[in-house]
Copies of this chain bind each other. A is one copy, B any other.
Amino acid sequence: MIDKRVDSAAQAVADIFDGATVMIGGFGEAGSPIELIHALIDLGAKALTVVNNNTGSGHVGLAALIENHQVARMVCSYPRTANSTVFPDLYRRGEIELELVPQGTLAERIRAGGAGIPAFYTATSVGTPLGEGKEVRSFDGRDYVLEYGLKADFALLKCARADRYGNLVFNKTARNFGPIMAMAAGTTIVQASALMELGEIDPEVVVTPGIFVNRVVTVANPALESVLVNDGRAYP
């Protein structure tokens, strides 16, 4: 029987190991799997490489994971937020590494990692500091840089609805990196706001087919990062 449900966020993340590469879904708070991130803080795995578009806000979720010194390296496109100095402080002190990747290149590298494409060419970053040192090749008279597929040991994602096969649908712009990170991770762990019976999600509207998902934990009323930040909350 295929049953990807697990009972708790703690159980879902229990095998994340020191030094693992972890993709974390979300663009800002939209799609951020905050309960799974907090479970990872409780677990305490260290020296992680984290792939996320941003670096979190306030002192909860991703920012708290970074603040807790569990992240050795961030791969992201925009490590700045109006309301968090966690990453900037550590970065300026040389206590965290940064691989800065243009947002579309980041998305395509993740998709390529999941799709078995080891490398591809893109015009993004040609002639800029982020293109320096990259292999350049011309196609039809235009220059492109070579970019590599990106994979991870784990992905932590949030979705709106899931079933026991791991089929997922998302909420509005919370979809963002979810479907491609699910493809690119060896073990994809999802917190779903609602669990559905098989067949309740129409096969025509499944966004992430279950083949890309390993574990589903139901978090019926996920916390909102902005609410926690406005309340001045910190984790743990």
Kindly state whether residue A103 has any CB partner on chain B within 8 Å. no
CB-based contact A116/B122 at 8 Å: yes
Chain B hits for A119, CB < 8 A: 120-121, 137, 139, 144
A26 CA / B118 CA spacing, docked (Å): 28
Please provide the chain A residues from 111 to 160 with a CB less than 8 Å away from any CB of chain B in the complex: 112, 115-123, 137, 139-140, 142, 144, 148
Of all chain B residues, which has the CB nearest A169? B204
Is the contact region of chain A dominated by helix, strand, or loop, or is it mixed?
Answer: mixed
With a cutoff of 8 Å between Cβ atoms, the chain B residues found around residue A118 in the complex are 121, 139-140, 142, 144
Interface flags, A194-232, vs B, CB<8A=1, else 0: 000000000111000000000000000000000000000
CA distance A120 to B123 in the complex (A): 13
Residues of B within 8 Å of A172, CB to CB, are 203-204
A-B contact pairs, 18 of them (CB 8 A): A108-B117, A112-B120, A117-B121, A118-B121, A118-B139, A118-B140, A118-B142, A118-B144, A119-B120, A119-B121, A119-B137, A119-B139, A119-B144, A120-B121, A139-B148, A169-B204, A172-B203, A204-B205
